[in-house]
Chains A and B, each alone.
Chain A
Amino acid sequence: MAARVIVTTSGKGGVGKTTSTANIAAALAKFGKKVVAVDADVGLRNLDVIMGLENRVVYNFIDVIEKTCKMAQALVKDKRVPGLYLLPAAQTRTKDAVNPEQMIGLVEELKPEFDFVLLDCPAGIEGGFKNAAAGADEALVVTTPEIPAVRDADRIIGMLESMGKSPIRLIINRLRPNMVQDGDMLAKDDILDVLSIDLIGVVPEDESVIRSTNNGEPMTMTLDSPAAHAYLNIAERLLGHDVPLMDLESYATRGFFSKLKKFFTGKKK
């Protein structure tokens, strides 16, 4: 077994890198793959919280690099989904505690044991990003439909291209189809026009993301929301399956407020 190593990155903070990593990792594990989600955000770790595994973290990957523990001791197995693991980051250290060579060494140690290694990258373009990206072969770039996020994504894509990462694929997160319809939000095609990379999925804005984050249960474990389905589709596409993009416009017309707005404005769509 030689894992595919994929970094989830964005440039801008708060666009949903960690949420995407957790949900895609859980979805891939549900498809029977052995997956490890590595929290590469040293000093600001969150992946353990979003995956609901924070109480079980004893060691972290810096301990593995510094040989304080063995890899098997640092890996946290998710008991809810077979094949899903977390390798946490150190919360009490800074991003200088690791360098790209050490990160590559860490990933090489994980590769034979897993089908997928997902690296959750910190925001920014400095050392933390470079460390996380160094170990990866492929990249998922997460952006929200906002101009600053798209510009930062463009910056990151340029850096990933210069580092030779391929393929680099795009996740558009927190899209609000009704705002796009009203012309108040960048549409999928506007974003693709600027970024010129392959789209792997569009995740609609969904309040269940907040619930699942606070509950520590990735949405793809229960699949009871549009965002969960979107992440599941992304995981399927990562596995090479041909899955059509979700019809987000139907979600735009489902909500109570949308119906109310339609009633008053007389808009059909």
Chain B
Amino acid sequence: MKISNLLRKIHKPNSQIKPERTNYGIKFIIPESLTEDELLKSFVRIPTGNYKLPEEQGIVLDFAGRACSRRLILHMLNSIVWEKGIKILAWLSTNDDSLKLFRAAGLISVEPDAEVISQILEAQKEREKISSLKIVYNSLRSGQRIETEGDVLIWGHLNPGAEIVAGGSIIIAGKLIGVVHAGAHGRDDVFVWAGCFETPQVRIGNKLCYADENSTACWRKSVLITLENNMPVIRENKFLVNKTGGANS
């Protein structure tokens, strides 16, 4: 949505900057006919939100045969790269002096090749896996196991002997009696939420905690378990308790 807005905005009939959608993000072809000031104004006019691409992707600036000045490069860095926080993957030019300037500034002056693109796509896939949510609409029985990079929601119970290992957070809508490991790859920004907490063991991030009826007041209650200062913290859901009984009544 944002990218299409950007393309529409820049590609007005009277605009001379030509954006191209690519596998690595967007390539802006900047014609030599624009003055440096016009060029800077065109970029500055674009709202910050319109530069947002998937975090692995970025923008390539193609200055064609333009002889870029130090002033232009500095302004581009100041007003666009640092100010708007956009990621420039490469600064391209067919002009030798411009290329020298880019290289002297340590800027990449080669368009992303197939290898870089495949790395970008791979990283994107990995991120999508981590941010995915797996929903299971039944209880998990003894011996059944779910292993995923992302988050898990069980719309049922996690019976004794069942196991979930998730890179992200875990929600058990029913009874949590089996074993859960949230943040299995070491993430500590994850949580375990259980409708009814009855498990003797919870694994979260790199922490392992044991529980039983006598060790916690949250036993058989609706709970949220998080990591705070690298310590597991269990909180009882008290805000849904009604007059007729507990949170689950």
Q: Report A129-178 residues with CB < 8 Å from chain B CB.
A: 147, 151-152, 154-155, 157-159, 161
Contacts of A194 on B, CB cut-off 8 Å? 157, 159-160, 177
Contacts of A214 on B, CB cut-off 8 Å? none
A154 to B139, CA, bound (A): 11
Contacts of A250 on B, CB cut-off 8 Å? none
B220 nearest CB across to chain A (Å): 12
A152 to B142, CA, bound (A): 7
Contacts of A152 on B, CB cut-off 8 Å? 142
CB atoms of B139 and A159 under 8 A apart: no
Interface of A is mostly: helix
Q: Is A181 an interface residue (CB 8 A)?
A: no
Which residue of B139, B141, B157 contacts A155 across the interface (Cβ within 8 Å)? B141
A147 to B177, CA, bound (A): 13
Q: Is B245 an interface residue (CB 8 A)?
A: no
- 0 or 1 for each of B14-37: is its CB under 8 Å from A? (1 = yes): 000000000000000000000000
Q: Report A10-63 residues with CB < 8 Å from chain B CB.
A: none
Q: Is B143 an interface residue (CB 8 A)?
A: yes
A147 to B157, CA, bound (A): 17
Contacts of A158 on B, CB cut-off 8 Å? 140-144
A263 to B140, CA, bound (A): 46
B65 nearest CB across to chain A (Å): 65
Q: Is A196 an interface residue (CB 8 A)?
A: yes
A155 to B178, CA, bound (A): 12
A93 nearest CB across to chain B (Å): 28
B154 nearest CB across to chain A (Å): 13
Interface of B is mostly: loop
Q: Report B135-162 residues with CB < 8 Å from chain A CB.
A: 139-144, 157, 159-161
A154 to B140, CA, bound (A): 9
A196 to B156, CA, bound (A): 10
CB atoms of B142 and A196 under 8 A apart: no
CB atoms of B160 and A151 under 8 A apart: yes
Q: Report A190-205 residues with CB < 8 Å from chain B CB.
A: 194, 196
A152 to B141, CA, bound (A): 10
Contacts of B139 on A, CB cut-off 8 Å? 196
- Residue ID in chain B nearest A159 by CB atoms: B143
Contacts of B177 on A, CB cut-off 8 Å? 194
Contacts of A157 on B, CB cut-off 8 Å? 141
Q: Report B171-211 residues with CB < 8 Å from chain A CB.
A: 177
Most buried by A among B139, B143, B157, B161: B143
B176 nearest CB across to chain A (Å): 13
A25 to B72, CA, bound (A): 91
Known: A155-B141, A194-B157, A196-B139. 18 other contacts (CB 8 A): A125-B143, A151-B142, A151-B159, A151-B160, A151-B161, A152-B142, A154-B142, A154-B143, A154-B159, A154-B161, A155-B142, A155-B143, A158-B140, A159-B143, A161-B141, A194-B159, A194-B160, A196-B157
What are the 9 tightest A-B residue pairs by CB atom distance, in nearest-first order? A158-B141, A155-B142, A154-B142, A155-B143, A154-B141, A151-B142, A158-B144, A154-B159, A151-B161
Q: List 12 A-B contacts (CB under 8 A).
A: A151-B159, A151-B161, A154-B142, A154-B143, A154-B161, A155-B161, A158-B140, A158-B144, A159-B143, A194-B157, A194-B159, A196-B139
